[in-house]
Amino acid sequence: MRIEKIIVIIIIAALRMQEAVAQEDTLSFRGQLSAYAHYNRGNELPLMGGIRYIPQLNLGHRWHDQSLLDMEVSVNIFGNAALDPFSASDFSGDIKPYRAWLRYSTDQFELRAGLQKINFGSASLLRPLMWFDQIDPRDPLKLTDGVWGVLARYYFLDNTNIWLWGLYGNGNLKGWEFIQSEKHVPEFGGRIQTPVPKGEAGFSYHHRVADGSTLPDTLGALLHIPENRFGIDAKFDMVIGWWIEASWSAFNGLEGSYRNQEIINMGADYTFGIGNGLTVIYEHLIASTDRNAFEFRNITTFSLLNLTYPVTMFDNAGLIVYYDWTNHKAYNFMTWQRDFRRLSLYLMGYLNPGEYYVPTQNYGEMIYAGSGIQIMLVFNH
């Protein structure tokens, strides 16, 4: 079924819901308009600019028993331009669904179907359990594509909760994936999260079939490569907040060192009583791909330090430093944010090596190699 038909079905269902005798109906329309300008003299096209608009419609109906049926539809409309003045230029843009889901929920249960964001885990910035989203900690908008699927969650009275999901029609890379999924083969998984002394812990599982036809013959022995993915995470509050999060992916059909993928993160955060309060986050990530599980022979190691400081009620300063212990390179990102009533201004600068690699997805383009500046305006209505 085409994406456009699915969105139409969700909207028709919402309109029919509106026609029912309402106990409590809600209808809201909001949007986010953003524009940016970017300069990096080391790029082939040093000047970049773009504009994005995400309109969002929400509709809900609540019954006497407090159960809720609601929906959300939003669209990502964007255009970008890159140029070397009087020499070369490149233009791109698209209009695509951003969210399109319908949900039924009660006090302890939720069932959501459609194009949605699914994320979980204890880590703050470098997230091994970034299985279905691509949120970059340096992106002030925290944008990420959704996945098509169904998600069910049940919450017990002791705050234990169980997640079950099924995905279909997601051929693009998600999270840490380096092989695309078979678009027309269902994916499924689940998660259990429960309180523990001084914190909470979780266990997650996901199964999919990867598309081996996208790999070189030296890597893929099969066209259809089953992957079983396991994750554990825990977070505690003991004077400081600290956490551990890990993911292991096992591929049945890959050759060589790509048969197993292990990612481990340990981190901590604390707010110091300096001035208006300096928040410090430190995370250390180890990633490895191995022929046999947990060999840790092909290791990549990153550390991340994130500092945020509220200068005034309307101004915030931030610094993110990545350090690549494998290649001995540092990546530096600085941000100043000024908030108005509905408008936010971001001034961003970066100083990176000429060969660019950090363990995130959205900002992985080489345009962020070297040094540069970016200005962004964001208007919410």
**Structural domain includes residue 15:** no
Let me know: does 30 contact 379? Beta carbons within 8 Å.
Answer: no
In a domain, 134, yes or no: yes
Q: Residues, the chain, total?
A: 381
13 lies in a domain? Answer: no
**Distances from the Cα of 235 to the Cαs of 126, 246, 247, 312, 360, in angstroms?**
14, 12, 15, 30, 22
6 lies in a domain? no
**How many CB atoms sit inside 10 A of residue 217's CB?**
8
Tokens of 30: 């909001």
Report the 10 Å Cβ neighbour count for 167: 21
Write out pLDDT tens, residues 39-82: 998 888 999 999 999 999 999 999 877 899 999 999 999 999 99
CATH number of the domain that residue 113 is part of: 2.40.160.10
pLDDT of residue 21: 42
In a domain, 2, yes or no: no
pLDDT at 35: 98
Instruction: Tell how far CA 72 is from the center of its chain.
Output: 19
Among residues 186, 310, 179, 328, the alpha carbon closest in space to that of 255 is found at 179
The secondary structure of residue 364, as a DSSP letter, is -
Q: Identify the domain containing residue 339 by its residue range.
A: 20-380
- Residue 208 makes CB contacts below 8 A (sequence gap 6+) with 167, 181, 182, 185, 187, 226, 227, 229
- Among residues 76, 75, 170, 73, the alpha carbon closest in space to that of 131 is found at 170
Q: Would you state the pLDDT for residue 23?
A: 54
Q: Which residues pair with 85 in a beta bridge?
A: none
Structurally, the chain folds into a number of domains equal to 1
Rounded to 5 degrees, what angle do the CA atoms 322, 327, 333 make? 20
Predicted local distance difference test score (pLDDT) of residue 224:
87
For 41-46, the CB contacts below 8 A with 24+ separation are: 41/370, 41/372, 42/354, 42/369, 42/370, 42/371, 42/372, 43/82, 43/366, 43/367, 43/369, 43/370, 43/372, 44/84, 44/88, 45/82, 45/83, 45/84, 45/88, 45/89, 45/90, 46/84
Neighbours of 345 (CB within 10 A): 14
Is 5 inside a domain boundary? no
The alpha-helical segments, DSSP class H, found in 90-162 are: none
Which residues, 6 or more positions from 182, have their beta carbon under 8 angstroms from its beta carbon? 171, 208, 209, 210, 211, 224
Q: Is residue 371 part of a domain?
A: yes
Residue with tokens 């669904």: 97
Determine which helix (DSSP H) or strand (DSSP E) holds 291, and give its type and residue range: none
7 found inside a domain = no
In angstroms, rounded to a whole number, what is the distance separating the alpha carbons of residues 363 and 333?
12
Q: What is the pLDDT of residue 40?
A: 94
Q: Which pLDDT score is estimated for 219?
A: 61
Q: Which residue from 195, 258, 201 is spatially nearest to 231, judged by alpha carbons?
A: 201
- Each residue's pLDDT tens digit, 87-125: 899 999 999 999 999 999 999 999 999 999 999 999 999
pLDDT at position 137: 86
**152/316 Cα distance (integer angstroms):** 37
The whole-angstrom separation of Cα 225 and Cα 208 is 8
Q: Which residues of the chain have pLDDT under 50?
A: 20-22, 361-364
* Whether the Cβ atoms of residue 73 and residue 99 lie closer than 8 Å to each other: yes
* Greatest Cα pair distance in the chain: 65
Residue 262 to residue 327: CA distance in whole angstroms: 19
